[in-house]
Chain A
Amino acid sequence: MQNGFFDFEKEGLKYCYYCGKCSSGCEVNRLESSFQPHRILYLLNIGMTDSVIGGDDIWKCTTCFTCSERCPQGVKVTEIIWFARTMAVKSGHLPELIMHQKETLLRTGRLHHISHIDNNKRGKVKLPQLTDASSLISEIFKMTKGDE
């Protein structure tokens, strides 16, 4: 459970009573009614974790935190969806974008690689030159086993 510091319980999963206030305030739910944060929480609570982490819904959350702010029980809905994503990634359910981002992060230490074209552009407007940030993230992933 990620060094024991993050899990569903710490983010308050069991306090959810499925009132649906998260879903009714959710922008994504408004556009696509089948996306329901409270349903994700329900499935996790009854132990259907595999169907949550194997599905697409957790990747539709914009992480805007509106649900967490609205929850009358103080359940950190966004963080729970985030944690479900990490379980998905660890079990190999990796959307292409995440795979691509991970590769860039491991290779450059940044979300966006700094090319010489970028540095040229920066130089023209007198901004400081930048370099990719080396092996830092791969070191961190090795330490936390995030690369497994």
Chain B
Amino acid sequence: MRYAFYIGCTVPVKALKYEVSTRNLAKGLGIELVDIPEFGCCGYPVKSMDMFAALLMSARNLALAEEKGMDIIGICIGCMATLSEAKKYLEDDNLRNTINQKLRELGIREYTGKVNIKHLARFLYEDYGLSSIKEKIIKPLESLKFGVHYGCHYMKPGHAYDYFDNPSKPVTLDILTDITGAKTIDYQNKNQCCGLTIMGTAKDLSFRLASEKLVCLSGIDIDAMLLACPSCCIAYENNQRLVGEKTGKKFNLPVLYFTQVIGLAIGLDEKDLGFEFNRVRADRIIEKLGPY
């Protein structure tokens, strides 16, 4: 099956390990992700400026995917929430007609509502199937333990995602990690937000939110934090040293994307999973796994 790959603005600039590992994992699993150069920003950053403009930007991307006859798979949870919410808004005939008029002015035919939007993790869980992934696992990660961070927009707002996961106690990313043979460890502030969205408008609060979770995860017996969103990764990994400085702590917690972890389990080389871009070195994880 072919899917329109919605890469978003943040991944190709700030999350190369996520992009590299996603592309190679998809290849390894036999999922064809098609790049659509015409895709633009999802609209999330524009929501604070003009909600109608943001919706139009989302709708444009949905219409482009529809024109190509493909459903959307993405890896940024912010983009996925914004596009999924837009899909729900556009179930309103009146609103959809108005948006379609504007789309025609932009040279795009129309959006009729056919496109499905899924985060890759949700797609693997719901469509590709856990048993199909299991069949491909040749290097079980039994020696590894992870603390999973979902990222708020992975499953919220619940209505935009048809409640595929529990908004207050999500499980799907844990289950996906468990099938690699690794263990996932629950921890106290698992549902806490990374705070990155207010980094520019309420810096102190943003650092404190990130710090609290890093403190909690540093205090339990895990090899790394596992996540599925480039923004959360910026908060917890790219900014890890800064967050420590600002809150009087010292952290050394590796942060991996779920695509890197599943990739290891299906036998992909760490070079093909973007480990060279891990800012907090994850060497000890690779060492622990030993030679294949």
Contact = CB atoms under 8 A, between A and B. Distances in A.
Nearest to B106: A139
Interface string B42-84: 0001111111110111001000000000000000000000000
B167 A98 contact: no
A60 B198 contact: yes
A143 B157 CA distance: 28
A82 B48 contact: yes
B50 A86 contact: yes
A125 B41 CA distance: 24
A63 B54 CA distance: 15
Contacts of A110: 9, 40-41
Contacts of A2: 50-52
Contacts of B200: 95-98, 100-101
Contacts of B167: 65, 69
Interface string A66-99: 1011000000101000110110011000011110
Contact of A86 (B45, B51, B98, B158): B51
B254 interface: no
Which residue, A59, A86, A95, A139, has most C-beta atoms of chain B within 10 A? A86
Chain B binding surface, main DSSP class: helix
B40 A62 contact: no
Contacts of B95: 5
Interface residues of A, number: 57
Given A2-B52, A110-B41, A105 B20 contact: no
Contacts of B198: 28, 59-62
B183 interface: no
B105 A143 contact: yes
Nearest to A109: B40
B31 interface: no
Interface string B177-216: 0000000000000011101011111100100110000000
A95 B45 CA distance: 13
Contact of B41 (A66, A82, A85, A109): A109
A111 B201 CA distance: 16
A128 B35 contact: yes
A48 interface: no
B268 to A, nearest CB: 14
Contacts of A97: 199-201
B147 interface: no
Contacts of B40: 109-110, 133, 136-137
Interface stretch (A13-21, A39-47, A114-122): A114-122
Interface of A: 2-3, 5-6, 27-28, 31-32, 56, 59-66, 68-69, 76, 78, 82-83, 85-86, 89-90, 95-98, 100-102, 105, 109-112, 114, 118, 121-122, 125, 127-128, 130, 133, 136-137, 139-141, 143-146
8 contacts: A60-B205, A62-B152, A62-B195, A63-B197, A133-B41, A136-B106, A145-B50, A146-B49
- Shortest Cβ-Cβ A-B pairs, 5 listed: A97-B200, A146-B50, A64-B152, A111-B9, A59-B201
